[in-house]
Amino acid sequence: MKQKLIILIALILFSGKVFSQIFVHDPVITQHNDNYYLFSTGLGITIWSSPDMKNWTRDGRVFQETPQWVTETLDDFAGHMWAPDIIFHNNQYYLYYSVSAFGKNTSCIGVATNRTLDPEDPDYKWVDHGNVVQSVPGRDDWNAIDPAIAFDDDGQPWMSFGSFWGGLKLVKLNDDLKTIAQPEEWHTIAKRPRSIEIDESEAGDGAIEAPFIFKKNGYYYLFVSFDYCCRGAESTYKIMVGRAKNIEGPYIDKEGKSMLEGGGSLVLKGNDDWYAIGHNAAYTFDGKDYLVCHGYDRHDNARQKLIIKEISWDKNDWPVVDQTK
């Protein structure tokens, strides 16, 4: 209760102020009219807006209260909503979010919609549609967190998701983007070896999470995060990538190794300014490609901050970002 009160006070104090550096976890971005809107992990999913992706204003949060279905479904809900994804489709915005008990695969992915992202618009209203995917300990060797939506060449929507356990998954959605398509099609798209056999209720090692599929150059690029977040100066997060001709995979790295066998080529990791960098998304805005992620600042007590880097492409069509800043 004390932690929630502190967060609520911070929301009140910081809403409406403009910041050039913002403290975020698991950021995703979209454009709406002349603004960019950023959504991130937090109490009710935190919202920021910016005219230039440099100066950000805090606009509050998506949910003022936890949806009733969450507490009815999860007895040990951790309180925060994690790792959102935001897309525009069917003339509305879809906001996906994760709810979970920390360190367990007692998890769900929910979705809410809005006709606009402008809080001054009379049509501004988040409508929650409840649970899309759920993982259950003892039944599922996967974890229903970290959702991201992608469309294949036929316009079919898919959701990638997952963290640790048996790896990252991909499932086909219906056109309403709120339900799993029938018959269900589940694919494992990336995983890392686990050094020990443990009970399915434990995550263990095999640290991989936060899939994001980005279509470019005739390929589907699968960005993922290896190793560990959320440990301050001890964090070891880094961003890896593989690619495939089909959205279902197989995703292969630069060396020809499958991401089903622990493969992945390095995109970005910690450096002189950051202890670790991870949980990315990738976008094209105004003809330029961008990598959006968070890092643990070496110069500010390892606080989690927004990082946005332009992506270029090498002669073999692999993504390249500046490693030095």
What CATH number did the domain enclosing 150 receive?
A: 2.115.10.20
Say if 35 falls within a structural domain.
no
**Residue 195 confidence (pLDDT):** 65
The answer as to whether 180 is a domain residue is yes
Q: How far is 214 from 151, CA to CA, in rounded Å? A: 9
Decide if 82 is inside a domain.
yes
Whether residue 196 has pLDDT greater than 80 = no
Separation between Cα atoms, residue 113 and residue 62, nearest integer Å: 10
> Which whole number is the average pLDDT over 172-196?
90
User: Is there a domain that residue 36 lies in?
Assistant: no
Q: Bigger pLDDT: 164 or 243?
A: 243
The answer on whether 50 is annotated among ligand-binding residues is no
Residue 253 annotated in ligand binding: no
Q: CA 204, CA 165: separation in Å to the nearest integer?
A: 7
Torsion from C-alpha of 253, 243, 224, 67, nearest 10 degrees: -160
Does 176 participate in catalysis according to the annotation? Answer: no
Which range is least confidently modeled, 60-64, 139-143, 289-293?
A: 139-143
CB 280 within 8 A of CB 293: yes
Q: Which residues contact 304 (CB under 8 A, 6 or more apart)?
A: 23, 24, 25, 294, 295, 296, 297
Q: How far apart are CA 149 and CA 297, in angstroms?
A: 29
Residue type, 208: I
Band of residue 238 on the pLDDT scale cut at 50, 70, 90: very high
Closest CA to 25 of 42, 8, 43, 4: 42
- CA distances 268 to 64, 68, 212, 291, Å, are 35, 39, 15, 10
Give pLDDT, residue 6. Answer: 38
19 labeled binding residue: no
Q: How far is CA 186 from the centre of its chain?
A: 19
In order, the DSSP letters of 115-127 are S-S-TTSTT---E
Is residue 164 marked as binding?
yes
Beta bridge partners of 159: 149, 171
Q: Does residue 200 surpass a pLDDT of 60? A: no
Binding residue per annotation — 180?
no
Secondary-structure breakdown of the chain: helix, strand, coil percentages, each rounded to the nearest 5: 10, 45, 45
Task: Report the number of distinct structural domains present in the chain.
Answer: 1
Catalytic residue among 121, 128, 202, 209: 209
Q: Is 209 considered catalytic here?
A: yes
Asked, for residue 28, whether it belongs to a domain, the answer is no
The SS3 assignment for 233 reads helix
Quick check: 98 and 40 in contact, CB under 8 A? no
State residue 9's pLDDT score: 38
Residue 41 has pLDDT above 70, yes or no: yes
Is the confidence at residue 176, as pLDDT, over 80?
yes
Whether residue 32 lies inside any domain: the answer is no
In this prediction, residues 13-32 reach a mean pLDDT of: 77
Name the residue range of residue 107's domain: 64-123+131-320
Identify the helix (H) or strand (E) that includes residue 139. none
Q: Tokens in use for 142?
A: 């996967």
What mean pLDDT is predicted for residues 64-70? Answer: 91
Lowest mean pLDDT among 3-12, 30-39, 94-103: 3-12
Is 210 flagged in the annotation as binding? no
Global confidence as pTM: 0.91
Which tokens is 136 given? 């259950």
Flag whether 25 is in a domain: no
Mean pLDDT of the region 244-267: 97
Cα–Cα distance for residue pair 86/28, rounded to 1 Å: 7
Does the annotation list 274 as a binding residue?
no
Residue 87 lies in a domain: yes
